[in-house]
Structure 1
Amino acid sequence: MSAFCLCCAIFLCLLCSTLAGKGNNGLLVRKQKGDTMTIHCSTTLQDQNNLSVFMRLTKNILVFYYYQETGKITIHERFQLRLTTNGGLNKMDITITNLTIEDSGAYWCLYGVSKKPKTEGEGAVLLVVNDDQNGASSGLGIPRYLVLVSAVTAGSVLLLSLVILFIWVIPRLKAWRSTMRPTQVRTSDVYEDMRTTIRRAHHP
Structure 2
Amino acid sequence: MEMLLHWCLLSIGFSLSTSTTATEAILWVKTGEKFTMKCSITLKDQDGMYLCVGLDREVLYYHRRDSKLTSRKGYWNRVKTEGPVDQLTITVSNLTIEDTGVYWCAYRNVNKSTLKKRIIQGKGSTLVVVNGRCVFTL
TM-score (norm 1): 0.50
Structure 2 CA distance for partners of 1:112 and 1:35, relative to 1, 3 Å? same
| Runs of 5+ consecutive residues of structure 2 not aligned to the other structure | 1-22, 111-115
Are 1:84 and 2:74 matched, yes or no? no
CA offset digits 1:15-58 (Å, max 9, x no partner): xxxxxxxxxx92211101111100110000112121000011xx
Q: Which has the higher strand share?
A: 2
CA distance in 1, matches of 2:43, 2:79: 25
Are 1:62 and 2:58 matched, yes or no? yes
Give runs of aligned pairs for residues 54-133 of structure 1, distance below 5 A: 54-56=52-54, 60-114=56-110, 115-122=116-123, 124-132=124-132
CA distance in 1, matches of 2:135, 2:88: 34
CA distance in 2, matches of 1:55, 1:139: 31
Aligned to 2:19: none
CA offset digits 1:104-133 (Å, max 9, x no partner): 0000000111222211224x110001112x
Structure 2 CA distance for partners of 1:72 and 1:130, relative to 1, 3 Å? same
CA distance in 1, matches of 2:101, 2:135: 18
CA distance in 1, matches of 2:40, 2:60: 14
Report how far residue 138 of structure 1 moved. 7.3
CA distance in 2, matches of 1:77, 1:138: 34
Aligned to 2:44: 46
Amino acid at match of 1:120: Q
Structure 2 CA distance for partners of 1:138 and 1:42, relative to 1, 3 Å? farther
CA distance in 2, matches of 1:111, 1:48: 6
CA distance in 1, matches of 2:89, 2:66: 19
Aligned length: 110
CA distance in 2, matches of 1:82, 1:73: 12
Q: Which has the larger radius of gyration?
A: 1
CA distance in 1, matches of 2:73, 2:41: 26
Q: Which has the higher helix share?
A: 1
Identity across the alignment (%): 32
Amino acid at match of 2:48: N
Aligned to 2:35: 37
Amino acid at match of 1:127: L
CA distance in 1, matches of 2:97, 2:83: 28
